[in-house]
């Protein structure tokens, strides 16, 4: 499993100072890491065919994840923390749905990378103390496609890049970037969408306080079938309302 500690130091504080120099170095590191993954694609694909070589693949995947996690933490701590929480929520929902651990692990990786495209959005927009205007929202809405472009050539054994691209698609076709609907949206992306909405509503913004959990669950139920997968929402609501799963405990689930 991917460790949540990728995003935080033991003390709970960011390990990398947010200076321009640190960001430039990390941007270079992530570029090198991605390029190395692309160059090794044939060898990595070969590794997947041989059980004895899979440890090498897992080590390489961990290096890629490490670099991306540190880069996101350095660029925007709030987004990095959001990805960790979303991963925990998504994994909990997936287990509630009865997914095997291989698919839960794949969803965890996608969740920990789902907002990587926001590293191309200015920090002034990401941390704006108020609602975004139309132009700013349009820039933020490019992040699923940008994330896909960053990840598409990394030879994950799961469709990570596509899940990242789809996490803002909605069941009725009203989402973005491609307006997919229903079964056109991958199951992992549908779970990720629910976890993303849940954490976004539970998190305070400069222009509003965090919503309480019951309000969030009622909102998810209202979006079920139209925007979000109805069956998955039902399991999510059951997990938090009937089984009384606590958000504060979810860090241990992922």
Q: What is the pLDDT of residue 232?
A: 98
DSSP-based three-state secondary structure for 162: helix
Q: What is the pLDDT of residue 200?
A: 95
178: DSSP letter: S
Q: What is the pLDDT of residue 38?
A: 56
**pTM of the full structure:** 0.80
Tell me how far CA of residue 46 lies from CA of 38, 40, 189, 236, in angstroms. Answer: 14, 10, 27, 38
Are 191 and 107 within 8 A, CB to CB? Answer: yes
Q: What are phi and psi of 128, to 5 degrees?
A: -60, 130
Give the span between the Cα atoms of 49 and 245, in whole angstroms: 39
Give the span between the Cα atoms of 7 and 235, in whole angstroms: 28
Q: What is the mean pLDDT of each successive set of 10 residues along the chain, which is 254 residues long? A: 41 42 50 56 54 61 79 89 95 96 94 94 91 95 95 89 98 98 98 97 90 96 98 95 69 43
Q: Which residues are within 8 A (CB) of 174 and not within 5 positions of it... i.e. 6 or more apart?
A: 227
121-126: long-range contacts, CB 8 A cutoff, minimum separation 24: 123/75, 123/76, 126/76, 126/78, 126/79
Indicate the length of the chain as a whole number. 254
* Residue 112 tokens, joined: 């920990």
* Residue 226 tokens, joined: 């139209």
Q: What is the pLDDT of residue 242?
A: 82
Q: What is the pLDDT of residue 35?
A: 58
Find the helix or strand (DSSP H, E) in which 131 lies: none
**90-139 per-position pLDDT tens digit:** 999 999 999 999 999 999 999 999 999 999 999 899 989 889 999 999 99
Q: What is the pLDDT of residue 244?
A: 72
Give the span between the Cα atoms of 200 and 184, in whole angstroms: 24
Q: What is the pLDDT of residue 143?
A: 97
Using the structure block, give the residue that is written with the tokens 């909990």: 92
The domain defined by 4-252 carries CATH number 3.40.640.10:
no
Give the span between the Cα atoms of 35 and 232, in whole angstroms: 36
Give the span between the Cα atoms of 37 and 151, in whole angstroms: 10
- Positive or negative torsion for Cα 230, 181, 110, 50: positive
Q: What are phi and psi of 208, to 5 degrees?
A: -160, 150
Give the span between the Cα atoms of 47 and 39, in whole angstroms: 14
Q: What is the pLDDT of residue 19?
A: 47
Of 149, 75, 158, 66, which is closest to residue 112 (Cα–Cα)? 66
């Amino acid at each position: 499993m991917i460790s949540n500690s990728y995003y935080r130091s033991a003390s709970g504080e960011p390990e990398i100072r947010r200076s321009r120099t640190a960001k430039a170095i990390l941007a270079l590191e992530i570029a090198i890491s991605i390029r190395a993954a692309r160059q090794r694609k044939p060898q990595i694909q070969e590794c997947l065919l041989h059980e004895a070589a899979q440890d090498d693949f897992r080590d390489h995947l961990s290096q890629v994840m490490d670099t991306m996690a540190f880069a996101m933490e350095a660029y925007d701590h709030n987004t990095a923390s959001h990805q960790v929480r979303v991963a925990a929520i998504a994994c909990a929902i997936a287990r509630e749905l009865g997914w095997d651990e291989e698919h839960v692990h794949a969803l965890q990786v996608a969740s920990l990378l789902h907002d990587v495209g926001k590293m191309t959005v200015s920090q002034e927009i990401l941390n704006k103390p108020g609602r975004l205007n139309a132009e700013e929202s349009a820039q933020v809405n490019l992040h699923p496609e940008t994330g896909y472009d960053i990840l598409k050539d990394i030879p994950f054994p799961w469709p990570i890049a596509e899940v990242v691209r789809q996490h803002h698609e909605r069941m009725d076709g009203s989402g973005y970037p491609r307006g997919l609907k229903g079964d056109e949206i991958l199951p992992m992306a549908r779970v990720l969408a629910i976890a993303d909405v849940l954490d976004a509503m539970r998190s305070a913004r400069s222009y509003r306080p965090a919503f309480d959990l019951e309000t969030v669950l009622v909102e998810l139920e209202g979006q079920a079938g139209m925007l979000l997968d109805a069956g998955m929402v039902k399991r999510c609501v059951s997990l938090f309302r009937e089984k009384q799963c606590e958000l504060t405990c979810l860090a241990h689930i992922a």
